[in-house]
Amino acid sequence: MSKLDASTTLKRLRNHYRLVIMNEDTYEEVVKFKLTRLSVYIAFSTLFILAVSLTASLIIFTPLKYYLPGVGYGNAKQIKEYRDLKIRTDSMEQALSNQGHYFENIQKVLEGNISKLDTNKLPMPKLENSTD
């Protein structure tokens, strides 16, 4: 297989081709284009760059960025405030849960629904053997 020469590659990029769109029923030419491989490559590259830049600008300059994970939290100060609020909320939930258990126990005591513990079944503390 022979190597492709740069001049032959350029010639192939500049060869002219005709793209004809025809009506299938009447075989009438609807549209006809004169194209080269280079012009098609440039057109698709331009469309790709425009699509990427449009997508990036939509994400950067609109509130869409807040829907992306990890991007929409803001600067470091806002992240720290968010973390502190989350910790405070968790501790408040824990305190509320503990307070609910406390009130349930107090209500049981006031109603007389105390479960009595059998002290005979409690484990005995181990005494140290001292030989003085």
pLDDT tens digit sequence for 93-132: 999 999 999 999 999 888 888 777 777 776 777 777 656 5
48 and 2, same structural domain? yes
pLDDT digits (tens, 9 = 90+) for 7-34: 788 888 889 999 999 999 999 999 999 9
Domain count across the chain: 2
85 and 20, same structural domain? no
Domain membership of residue 120 (yes or no) is no
Q: Which of 19, 48, 72 corresponds to the end of one domain?
A: 72
The pLDDT of residue 68: 76
Domain membership of residue 53 (yes or no) is yes
Q: Encoding tokens for residue 7?
A: 């001049």
The pLDDT of residue 131: 60
Percentage of the chain exceeding pLDDT 70? 87
61 and 78, same structural domain? no
Q: Which domain holds residue 87?
A: 74-113
Domain membership of residue 118 (yes or no) is no
Residue 34 dihedral angles phi and psi, to the nearest 5°? -105, 120
pLDDT digits (tens, 9 = 90+) for 66-76: 777 766 556 67
60 and 6, same structural domain? yes
Q: Encoding tokens for residue 117?
A: 């513990």
Domain membership of residue 121 (yes or no) is no
54 and 14, same structural domain? yes
50 and 34, same structural domain? yes
Check pLDDT > 80 for residue 43: yes
The b-or-e profile of 43-71 (16+ CB within 10 A means b, else e) is eeeeeeeeeeeeeeeeeeeeeeeeeeeee
Tell me the pTM: 0.48
